[in-house]
């Protein structure tokens, strides 16, 4: 199997790849002709692909995400590699491949990530906080096993959401040790819940977000998570006006720090501030690491990174 990352201009390739996006488009010829505009992916990267001779049957046969077998040639188009498909068919069971082997995923198995998160949840001393988290886990179901953390900003891969939580939990342990005045219970609960409603805000399969959901557009994951806490408290007979629950909701509402980033209240307890800073650090460093690691070996500058002030990043030569 040839990894996409290793494709070179002029190379002829036959192999199985993940179909990550599939659109029927038209050529600009007179009259226009339909063709398939695809994105092929594997764990090493992704590449734009064109199937020029798509039949009416083909147009109905391919949709994302699915596993396909392709034959074709790598070409250069506008300074970027592109794959010209000569033959394409859906993969079959006989091919003996598993689609999940082609999906970019967190570097830790989802089971381990979820185990780590649940262990952290059960390490919280406060029982009510534990019950609230448990309630939210119930709403999320197994989405925690595979949801990405975003459409494209950061952790946009299989189990990216859980991986983001786990790395933040690691940072939180260190910060709580550096600064013992922080309330560990609140911070751990805040980390687990801060993005949990992304599972409802986004529609995703195999770690790939296809769109914002109806609720995602009209409510957004921050007020949604606040409502989940209310729901958990009401359902389990807690006082929604208690200091603990108000502080937990505050952490969720404030974790984007500023109105223009989605927070209408600013952090007003140290744990809310810590949550915001830990979230920033993990999200931004991950975005930088992704940009650098997925850049072709022949380049020194990445394409502009939307999550990082839209700046291109430089990979040092280390001369």
| Among 38, 161, 253, 295, contact with its own copies (rule: CB under 8 A) | 253
**65 versus 267: smaller Cβ distance to its own copies:** 267
Residues 289-318 touching its own copies, rule: CB under 8 A, are 289, 292-293, 308-309, 311-314, 316-318
| Among 11, 21, 58, 270, contact with its own copies (rule: CB under 8 A) | 270
- Nearest Cα residue to 111 out of 119, 99, 121, 103: 119
3-state helix, strand, coil in the chain (%, to 5): 45, 20, 35
CB count, 10 Å around CB of 73? Answer: 14
Q: How far is the CB of 272 from its own copies (least distance, A)?
A: 9
Residues 167-206 touching its own copies, rule: CB under 8 A, are 167, 170-171, 174-175, 178-179, 181, 183, 186
**Which distant-in-sequence residues (6+ apart) come within 8 Å of 299 by Cβ?**
315
**16 versus 250: smaller Cβ distance to its own copies:** 250
**118 versus 315: smaller Cβ distance to its own copies:** 315
- φ, ψ of residue 104 to 5 degrees: the values are -65, 130
Residue ranges with strand state E in 100-252: 202-205, 208-212
Q: Is 310 left (phi over 0), alpha (psi -120 to 50) or beta?
A: left
Is the distance from CB of 286 to CB of 313 less than 8 angstroms? no
Beta bridge partners of 88: 70
Residues 93-132 touching its own copies, rule: CB under 8 A, are none
CB count, 10 Å around CB of 132? Answer: 28
Only segment of 62-70, 91-99, 152-160, 275-283 that touches its own copies (CB under 8 A): 275-283
DSSP strand pairing (45-51 vs 80-90): parallel
Residues 62-81 touching its own copies, rule: CB under 8 A, are 77-78
| Among 264, 299, 303, 306, contact with its own copies (rule: CB under 8 A) | 264
Residues 211-240 touching its own copies, rule: CB under 8 A, are 214-215, 217-220, 222-223, 226-227, 230-231, 234-235, 240
**93 versus 260: smaller Cβ distance to its own copies:** 260
- φ, ψ of residue 201 to 5 degrees: the values are -70, -35
Residues 2-31 touching its own copies, rule: CB under 8 A, are 25-31
**144 versus 169: smaller Cβ distance to its own copies:** 169
Q: How far is the CB of 97 from its own copies (least distance, A)?
A: 29
């Amino acid at each position: 199997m040839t990894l996409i990352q290793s494709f070179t201009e002029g190379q002829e390739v036959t192999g199985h790849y993940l179909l990550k996006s599939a659109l029927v488009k038209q050529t600009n010829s007179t009259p226009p002709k339909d063709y398939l505009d695809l994105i092929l992916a594997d764990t090493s990267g992704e590449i734009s692909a064109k199937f020029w001779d798509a039949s009416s049957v083909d147009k109905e046969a391919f949709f994302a995400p699915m596993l396909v077998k392709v034959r074709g040639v790598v070409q250069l188009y506008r300074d970027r590699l592109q794959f010209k498909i000569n033959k394409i068919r859906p993969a079959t069971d006989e091919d003996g491949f598993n689609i999940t082997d082609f999906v970019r995923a967190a570097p830790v198995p989802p089971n381990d990530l979820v185990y780590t998160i649940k262990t952290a949840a059960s390490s919280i001393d406060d029982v009510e906080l534990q019950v609230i988290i448990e309630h939210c886990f119930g709403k999320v179901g197994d989405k925690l096993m595979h949801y990405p953390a975003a459409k494209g900003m950061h952790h946009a891969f299989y189990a990216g959401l859980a991986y983001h939580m786990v790395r933040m939990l690691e940072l939180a342990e260190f910060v709580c040790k550096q600064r013992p005045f922080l309330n560990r219970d609140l911070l751990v609960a805040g980390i687990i819940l801060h993005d949990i409603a992304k599972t409802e805000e986004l529609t995703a399969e195999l770690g790939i977000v296809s769109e914002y959901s109806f609720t995602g557009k009209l409510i957004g994951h921050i007020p949604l998570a606040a409502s989940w806490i209310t729901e958990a408290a009401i359902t389990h007979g807690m006082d929604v006006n208690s200091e603990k629950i108000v502080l937990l909701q505050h952490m969720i509402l404030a974790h984007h720090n500023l109105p223009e980033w989605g927070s209408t209240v600013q952090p007003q307890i140290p744990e809310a501030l810590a949550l915001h800073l830990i979230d920033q650090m993990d999200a931004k460093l991950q975005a930088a690491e992704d940009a650098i690691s997925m850049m072709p070996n022949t380049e020194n500058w990445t394409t502009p990174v939307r999550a990082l002030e839209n700046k291109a990043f430089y990979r040092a030569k280390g001369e």
